[in-house]
Amino acid sequence: MADTDLPNGLGALPIHKYFGGSWGVLAASDVTTDLVCRVTYNAGAGAYRITSTPTLFVPQSIGGAGYSTIPGGGTPIRMQWGNQNLGGSGTAVPITFPIAFSSAPYSIQITGIVSTDRPLYVSTFSATGFTMVNPSTGITNTGYWLAIGPA
């Protein structure tokens, strides 16, 4: 038996993941060491499909601003994060998500380093970004944000 032959006679076939509303080929960067997944064979696609994983977060882009997708049944959930320096006196700064959600996010949370009783807030939002506002007069703040929505 060759090293690409499997006991079921199917041989080496691609592995697919469900992402962004459709099935696609699993990339090497989607897999981590010791990842255990449930895989089924889909004869129509001629491929194996990952149907569940115990690992909740599949990193896509890690850094100062980034995103990660939580796969699962139905619509996968995406988390995105970043930070932004804001000037004072009612500064409104548009923030663009690293990757657009499929529709408006479910939640956007902001944590700010604020030295007054006037917290940072979101004034508008969409699938592609939001506007963060610093209402503090003359005080520069940094806003750290986390958005959760449909992948």
Which tens digits make up the pLDDT trace of 49-91?
887 655 445 556 666 788 888 876 677 889 999 998 887 767 8
pLDDT of residue 41: 83
Looking up tokens 């089924």 gives 40
pLDDT of residue 115: 62
pLDDT of residue 80: 94
Contact 70, 77 (CB under 8 A): yes
Counting as low any pLDDT under 50, the low residues of the chain are: 1-4, 55-56
Strand 15-19 vs strand 47-52: parallel, antiparallel, or unpaired?
Answer: parallel
pLDDT of residue 1: 36
pLDDT of residue 126: 97
pLDDT of residue 138: 66
Going from the N-terminus, what domains does the chain have, and what CATH number goes with each? 1-54 (no CATH), 61-67+76-150 (2.60.40.3940)
> Which of 121, 113, 122, 119 is closest to 141 using CA atoms?
113
Q: Is 20 exposed, middle or buried (0-12, 13-18, 19+ CB in 10 A)?
A: middle
pLDDT of residue 2: 44
> Which of 71, 96, 58 is closest to 21 using CA atoms?
71
